[in-house]
Structure 1
Amino acid sequence: MSRPASFDPETFLPDALVESIRSRAARVDAENAFPEEDLDALREAGYLRLLVPKDRGGAGLGFAQASVLQQRLAQASPATALAINMHLVWTGVAKTLRDRGIDDLAFVEEEAADGEVFAFGISEAGNDLVLFGSDTDAAPGPDGSYAFTGTKVFTSLAPVWTRLGLHGLDTTSPDAPKLVFAFVGRDERVVTRDDWDTLGMRGTQSRTTELHGVVAPAERVVRRIDPGPSADPLVFGIFASFELLLASVYTGVARRALDLAVESAHARRSKRTGLAYSQDPDIRWRIAEMALAYDALPPQLEWVGHGLDALEDHGPRWFSYLSGVKHRATATAKRVVDDAMLVAGGSSYFSRNELSRLSRDVLAGAFHPSDPESAHSTVASAWLGPLG
């Protein structure tokens, strides 16, 4: 597999910017606020244009590089990284299609370069079909437009998005049912509930979004496909971009927890032995276990990212690779954070402790698609074939 030229993450996410974002993370979490300052600083740094090609005003990075940067950002503020992820997902979908000679989402790249903020309007309460079905009504207009009515949940970037990529079900056209993917703007037909009061990842402000006939013009309707599993490149692009970038965020959380555990082990001193806990065999074993688990993640993300960038053809196995890396990243991050709290001791149980916040943030990983059940089902099918 060919590798793109190396790059310096500092160029796109300088240390000073990382530290300023980290300095605000606790306050954002405590106030259950959206990190406006983080978004402004990242926009100024060109971070929202990472995956946009250079000829359209972006940085022209690949997935492997964006993964490294999202890991780095998550070490400063998991919630900020997860919120920005949803914008990057759509620019990643546009890149996936364009790399394969399909330029249907050129407007996403152009508008992202112009400063528009894209949000992800796919999740619906109780809809375990996710990309393969929708409870949102997509009513066709005579001019090729669609009006969407329904409720989307976990809409990250809720206070600030200007473009919402979403899907709905057309049940009235002659060839119905058709699953419709489109992009809408924010107007009076979109209601954002102020209902994001969660255990962790509070800065994402992933509020519920009510759609009351909001219209996507014909030129922003990008797919009409049959419901159910699909080989359409758009579906693959969404799945690939979402899973890889999501896994990157939680890998960053794991790295930050490991670093904090190491700092704590050096700083804490045993009253019994007089030695730093970094000299305690049990603590050393625990940190080694954490490191062994964490060290497996970045190479997996690199392999998947480079595979996407190089247009490798793994056929349907791609879905097991992508859901697998997401599942391993989120499950490993949870385990590493739990162990980091044990290393740090009782002080980590106080809400003012960064590990306390990470312990809450990392819990969200299990709820993102692919959830553990879906990931295991996908991998089982890849190895055993479909259920009879």
Structure 2
Amino acid sequence: MFIKNDAQKEVIEKLHTLKEGIQARGAEADRENSFPSESFQELLKIGYNKLTLPKEYGGDGFGISEMISFQETLASFDGATALAIGWQLGVVGEIYEKKKWSEEQLQHFAQEITQHRALVNRIASEAVTGSPTRGGRPGTNAVFIDGNWHISGRKSFTTLSYALTQFLTSAWIEEKQAIGFFLIPSTLDGLTIEETWDMVAMRGTASHDLILEDVIVPADALVEVNDGPRSNNINGWALHIPAVYLGIAQAARDYALHFARTYQPNSLPTVIGELPHVQDKLGQIEVKLKTARHILYSVADHFEQPTTHDAAAQDLGLAKHVVVNNAIEIVDLAMRIVGAKSLQSQNPLNRYYRDVRAGLHNPPMDDMTITKLAQNALKEGQEVKHS
């Protein structure tokens, strides 16, 4: 990873003090399909939830480049833990950068983060719509009655469900013919977590269904109104997602490298790391890992600079595409080095293999990224021709 300042380095050092516990609890959560709640409590104790909250609101004010270094580090300990809490960093970063909320709403939520250790996620997925980035209309509905919003529906993929203090939930508002996002405290009547998360990957994220049965919130709980799919919104904070898969790839690389340095079957005079075909695979891993890291951090850095922001915005999806697909190939190469042992249920490569594939199903999807790149290229060609 790339470290830019002492404050960033200090956070990474704090994360490393939690490494052993997060690794152990992550492995247990994967085996039992449970939730490593203690890991999130430890992260809250070091202020992980306020890293991307601007300093003027009481947070640490870290930017996108620094955020992805934290996520890469944490994911190298446990991918599910990093992916789950990463939504807090990304959602908070986006909210306070774009400032779609009123200043009063922003100030109030900042106090929740700094004083009450608030954790939030944007709850938008539904079985009836598929990915919210594709523009499906929510089946969840919000109706304004006697000064309050009444919200009912079912949400899927409510990542971090057991630890969230607020659900930033999408719902269709008929009278506005638009999608609203409501900030809903997790303690309200009518909210239920239904344990539906039964996946082979990212099992420790507790991405269960959220059931809303006539949940009543005040008028100011409506914090955003969108008239189109979220895929239309340029959001650099979403780079917290590929950072997780980069961290998993790093962990797989480290495991395979240690194995190559130390494993010597009695049929060989030396460790397997001296074999040309093993070195070839290790070399391929290094190429893919360095390529993924450079494109992720480069896009993040350029996105944060005013002079290169617009050009970098076109590469956000590309960065996610390259990182995730390279990470999948890195884990595969690591397993080829380790051999059949990598398939053992207790071997961490087994979990890395399953977890890293989840990146294919996090937004933006590969087909959308590739289509967008093609459309941009075609448009560029037309502009050159006309000029």
Normalising to structure 1: TM-score of the pair? 0.88
1:337 to 314, 331, 334: 331
Partner in structure 2 of residue 241 of structure 1: 237
Partner in structure 2 of residue 54 of structure 1: 55
Whole-angstrom distance in 2 between the partners of 1:384 and 1:127 = 30
Kept in 1, the 8 Å contact 2:11–2:70? The answer is no
Partner in structure 1 of residue 383 of structure 2: none
1:168 to 171, 181, 203: 171
Kept in 1, the 8 Å contact 2:64–2:236? The answer is no
Whole-angstrom distance in 1 between the partners of 2:359 and 2:229 = 25
1:358 is matched by which residue type in structure 2?
Y
**CA distances 1:4-44 after superposition (whole Å, capped 9, x unpaired):** 64544343534221222113221121121111110111000
Partner in structure 1 of residue 259 of structure 2: 264
Unaligned runs of 5+ in 1: none
The 1:25–1:180 alpha-carbon spacing in structure 2 relative to 1, beyond 3 Å, is same
Kept in 1, the 8 Å contact 2:140–2:154? The answer is no
Cα distance, 1:134 vs. partner?
2.7
Partner in structure 2 of residue 207 of structure 1: 208
Query: Which stretch has the larger CA shift, 281-290 or 263-272?
Result: 263-272
The 1:4–1:379 alpha-carbon spacing in structure 2 relative to 1, beyond 3 Å, is same
Whole-angstrom distance in 2 between the partners of 1:180 and 1:144 = 16
The 1:144–1:96 alpha-carbon spacing in structure 2 relative to 1, beyond 3 Å, is farther
The 1:165–1:10 alpha-carbon spacing in structure 2 relative to 1, beyond 3 Å, is same
Partner in structure 1 of residue 138 of structure 2: 135
Query: Sequence identity of aligned pairs in percent?
Result: 26
Whole-angstrom distance in 1 between the partners of 2:26 and 2:44 = 17
Cα distance, 1:92 vs. partner?
1.3
3-state SS, counterpart of residue 253 of structure 2: helix
Question: Is 2:28 the partner of 1:27?
Answer: yes
Kept in 2, the 8 Å contact 1:82–1:249? The answer is yes
1:166 is matched by which residue type in structure 2?
T
Question: Is 2:152 the partner of 1:149?
Answer: yes
Partner in structure 2 of residue 310 of structure 1: 305
Cα distance, 1:289 vs. partner?
0.4
The 1:44–1:365 alpha-carbon spacing in structure 2 relative to 1, beyond 3 Å, is same
1:152 is matched by which residue type in structure 2?
K
Partner in structure 1 of residue 161 of structure 2: 158
Kept in 2, the 8 Å contact 1:52–1:109? The answer is yes
1:40 is matched by which residue type in structure 2?
Q
Kept in 2, the 8 Å contact 1:52–1:113? The answer is no
Question: Is 2:173 the partner of 1:182?
Answer: no
3-state SS, counterpart of residue 222 of structure 1: strand
The 1:280–1:30 alpha-carbon spacing in structure 2 relative to 1, beyond 3 Å, is same
Q: 4+ residue runs of structure 1 moved beyond 6 angstroms?
A: none
**CA distances 1:335-374 after superposition (whole Å, capped 9, x unpaired):** 1111111111111110101111111111211111111212
Question: Is 2:140 the partner of 1:123?
Answer: no
Kept in 2, the 8 Å contact 1:201–1:364? The answer is yes
**CA distances 1:275-316 after superposition (whole Å, capped 9, x unpaired):** 11110000000011011001012222222322343345644x
3-state SS, counterpart of residue 197 of structure 1: coil
Whole-angstrom distance in 2 between the partners of 1:28 and 1:369 = 24
The 1:110–1:378 alpha-carbon spacing in structure 2 relative to 1, beyond 3 Å, is farther
The 1:344–1:153 alpha-carbon spacing in structure 2 relative to 1, beyond 3 Å, is same
3-state SS, counterpart of residue 346 of structure 2: coil
Size of the aligned set, in residue pairs, is 373
- Provide the aligned C-alpha RMSD in A: 2.5
2:250 to 239, 249, 255: 255
Partner in structure 2 of residue 44 of structure 1: 45
Normalising to structure 2: TM-score of the pair? 0.88
Whole-angstrom distance in 2 between the partners of 1:330 and 1:216 = 38
Partner in structure 2 of residue 198 of structure 1: 199
2:172 is matched by which residue type in structure 1?
L
Whole-angstrom distance in 2 between the partners of 1:355 and 1:282 = 20
Whole-angstrom distance in 1 between the partners of 2:312 and 2:214 = 35
Cα distance, 1:328 vs. partner?
1.4
2:183 is matched by which residue type in structure 1?
F
2:273 is matched by which residue type in structure 1?
S
3-state SS, counterpart of residue 345 of structure 1: helix
Whole-angstrom distance in 2 between the partners of 1:58 and 1:125 = 35
Question: Is 2:296 the partner of 1:301?
Answer: yes
